[in-house]
Structure 1
Amino acid sequence: MTRTMLSLLVVAVFSTIARPADPPAPAKLFAQDNLVAWCIVPFDAKKRGPAARVEVLQTLGFKKYAYDWRGEHLPTFDAEVALLKKAKIELTAVWFPADLGPDAQTLLAVIKKHDVKPQLWVTSGEPAGGDRAAKVRAAAKTIKPIAEEAAKLGCRVALYNHGGWFGEPENQIAMIEALKLKNVGIVYNLHHGHEHFDTFPELLKRMKPHLLALNLNGSVRGGDKVGKKIMPLGTGELDVKLLGQIRDSGYTGPIGIIGHTQDDVAERLADNLDGLRWLLPQLEGKDAGTMPDYRTWKP
């Protein structure tokens, strides 16, 4: 090999190493097998039980599922996880209390029994008193024992933005930095992020090293103040823009599709899937055709 050829080879190799990774293609990031059904247990006009709920997931093609609950649902959590395993649907996440009380112990026992590794999605309130640094320390102290128990089971904890001080991603990042635990991150929800829309790309950049899941929503500017907090995908004026920003951020983790209304949850999930399919060509500047005919929403 000549010196010139060797020099060209070295340049090519280092150019490849230095080149930033391309953002994930929409077809991969938003693919059906990367979508997580979320907020479908207490949010369902038909009040389905575990078997019927798993059937909905199978019918709609979901391979991942995040479990939310109320007290009356916990007695059937064991059966639900067994049905999910039989259907080969991943239990991606579980809504988890901000303590290790009886409900938490019930959840952990089932997770251990079935040897599943869901993220534990945790939210809490604003710690009382003190400056921001003191609040961060207090919140981290609340999360630490949960994270330690999760680690024993091979699970991660995701801090959930549910509004208020605890739900601010900047505060969550500070908590994670204070904890210094490898199994703590963030789950971000667009329906709780209306105040972040103008700075969303920068916020995503800050969150990305910690981001474990991201849940979509039809997004209208100021929608949380005008009765449009939770909308089907495709009905929001900001949907294409926000999906593009998520794609361009380089995030590659799970993407949540929410129910979160008191409609028939099968119809609401189907509306969101239809809306997402309609939006994806628009990310590439293509004509997506006619807007979907939504089952649970009318313009």
Structure 2
Amino acid sequence: MVQCSSAQDFYKIELKDTYPWCIVAYDSLERSPKERIALIKEIGFNKYAYDWRDRHLEDTSLELQLAMDNDIEILSVWIWLNAKRDGIEQLSHANERLFKIIEQLNLKTTFWVSLSENFFKDLNHQQSLSKAVKIIDVIAMRAAELDCKVALYNHSGWFGNPYYQLEVIKALPQHELGMVYNFHHAHGSIEDIPQIANAVIPYLKAVNLNGMEKNGNKILAIGKGDYEKEMIKIFIKSGFRGPWGILGHVENSDVKKVLFQNIDGLRSLQDQ
């Protein structure tokens, strides 16, 4: 679908190199687990990343089991920590329940972890780094008990800065932490993408794609922006070979239509 300009850097993104992301919490049809797994198979994905909200926890075990039964790789499971309900030593009831589900299923996956901005309110950089290291250390130890991995997810605020995430990773070498890079949380860093890609590539586990405009919509279909084609090329030239996330992250929309818009947009970048 997308290729670099030189033969040496050539790399084509196929559907097998991609996975859907944000298809649970963003779907106007509110598909059941069975319907969602059927959708993933219908489109042709062989893996997916599981996002959720508290209301989905009743069905999480069923959905992940259905994915495994249908030979769909569960690439990752999302975990969002908020200082209003999660502490360094005590996670929220919802996050504790998630860990329990993963344990009961004996699922070996990667937790995509991000921390809310409210953890770092009124803290300077060094204080923020110290707190982030303590929190991620605890999460990584919990994940290791389940034979799972952890990858840091750039969302927003202090923890959304990939350079700060690198500092956390280097402070915890015992955990072999990874990173997930999200185009849709990178609008303020478009001009710095070459430097960011080269810095994160040793730890990069996944890249979630999005159409990119500097002053436009946060969520935009791939191929509708001005910068995503070059950004993809930069990551490829830096050595990243996937997997690549296809977003379903649109409010009040049928996620099937959103996924196809992004798949078609990614294909159009090669046609150009």
> What TM-score do you get using the length of structure 1 for normalisation?
0.81
**Number of residue pairs aligned between Structure 1 and Structure 2:** 254
Residue among 38, 61, 85 paired with 1:78: 61
- Which residue identity is paired with 1:243? I
C-alpha separation in 1, matches of 2:269 and 2:11: 10
- How far is 1:175 from its partner? 1.0
Q: CA deviation at 1:129?
A: 4.2
1:180-191 to structure 2, matched below 5 A, reads 180-191=173-184
Q: 2:258 maps to what in 1?
A: 268
Do the aligned residues in 2 keep the contact of 1:92 with 1:117 (CA within 8 Å)? no
User: 1:237-279 deviations in whole A, cap 9, x for unaligned?
Assistant: 1122112112111012321111111210001001111111111
Which stretches in structure 1 are left out of the alignment for 5+ residues?
A: 1-21, 283-299
| Larger radius of gyration between Structure 1 and Structure 2 | 1
Residue 180 of structure 1: how far off its partner (Å):
2.2
Aligned-CA RMSD value: 1.6
Q: Is 2:271 the partner of 1:278?
A: no
Identify the residue that residue 253 of structure 1 maps to in structure 2: 242
Report if the CA contact (8 A) 2:18-2:242 is conserved: no
Shift of 1:159: 1.4
Q: Which residue of 2 aligns with 1:115?
A: 106
Mark the runs of 5 or more structure 2 residues left unpaired by the alignment.
Answer: 1-7
Match of 2:133 in 1: 140
Q: Is the 8 A contact 1:35 1:257 kept in 2?
A: yes
CA distance in 2, matches of 1:49, 1:256: 21
Contact 2:140 2:175 survives alignment (8 Å): no
Inter-CA distance 97–194: structure 2 relative to 1 (3 Å threshold): closer
Establish whether residue 106 from structure 1 lines up as the match of residue 97 from structure 2. Answer: yes
Whole-angstrom CA distance in 2 between matches of 1:185 and 1:53: 27
Deviations along 1:271-294, whole A, 9 cap, x unmatched?
111111111344xxxxxxxxxxxx
On the 8 A contact 2:183/2:212 being kept in 1, the answer is yes
Q: Which structure has the higher relative contact order (CA within 8 Å, separation 6+)?
A: 2
| Partner residue of 2:163 out of 167, 170, 178 | 170
Q: Deviations over 1:35-64 (max 9, x none)?
A: 111001110111111011111111111111
Q: Distance in 2 between matches of 1:51 and 1:280?
A: 33
- State the percentage of identical aligned residues: 37
DSSP-derived class of the 1:232 partner: coil
Distance 2:220 2:80 in 1: 26
Whether 1:222 and 2:205 are equivalent positions in the alignment is: no
Choose the corresponding residue for 2:47, options 56, 64, 84.
64
Determine the C-alpha separation between the residues in 2 that align with 1:264 and 1:256.
Answer: 18
Task: Give 2:79's aligned amino acid.
Answer: F
Q: After TM superposition, which residue ranges in structure 1, 4 or more long, deviate above 6 angstroms?
A: none
Q: 1:212 aligns with which of 169, 182, 205?
A: 205
Q: Secondary structure at the match of 1:43?
A: coil
Equivalent position of 2:146 in the other structure: 153
Asked if structure 2 preserves the Cα contact closer than 8 Å seen for 1:158 and 1:185, the reply is: yes
Amino acid at match of 2:241: T
Q: How far apart are 1:130 and its partner, in Å? A: 4.4
Q: Is contact 1:26–1:280 with CA below 8 Å preserved after alignment? A: no
Cα 1:253–1:117 shift into 2, 3 Å:
farther
CA distance in 2, matches of 1:116, 1:33: 21
2:19 is matched by which residue type in structure 1?
A: V
Give distance in 1, aligned partners of 2:42 and 2:229. Answer: 27
Query: Structure 1 residues 101-110 or 144-153, which shifts more?
Result: 101-110
